[in-house]
Structure 1
């Protein structure tokens, strides 16, 4: 594998790791809320990140790269923090929603960083842009869920 394709694969694996973290985080959030609309939202987001991960894996393999298999230590710590917040919070649904919003904002920044990288081919940028737009759309629509509380 050339240095170029290795660099692209590494960047995509970084996003994949964070996608694994988000998928697991949304699953944890769905398990920690009672509100059916929030539970549905978090489950949908977990499924969406699973799909994002599958697309990223396919892209990594197309460059001849090895796919990383797990999430990050930071992601694990974030999920533990969500569980602690749920335990300590009087309004765990609000806490889970706040953490989801924070995580989604961070994801948008991470995608933007990858998109700003000039070494990423246009076909890969298209995939990343579509995923980033989906996250941004969901963030702009999350106000409805905040009103449900």
Structure 2
């Protein structure tokens, strides 16, 4: 079981969800290699590319990101993404624990439109992810200009 009891995790989650906040993403990582305790590793403004800059190949982490999705200039919706990051150099035991701990993390970071598991920074392809969000978003009134 992952320890996600630090109150700053819930506070930052609420901050990311708040449209008035500049903080649009957060990253949780393990306190150390042997720990099951997750801590707030980073948070900030910007989009997926800024979030990805804070991830490393030897890191296992969970992230949460707010993005604005639009089909046209009149239709802008806020959507959230839950991300499991498993860097290519993460040890086998940590990978195994990560797959079990994801359910504990989702009890805190619970509202999201899509879930992504990323292993490389190239997995943070913003146009592709925005397309997934549009498809998950329900009504699409602008089918002609987007590749679905």
Whether TM exceeds 0.5 here: the answer is no
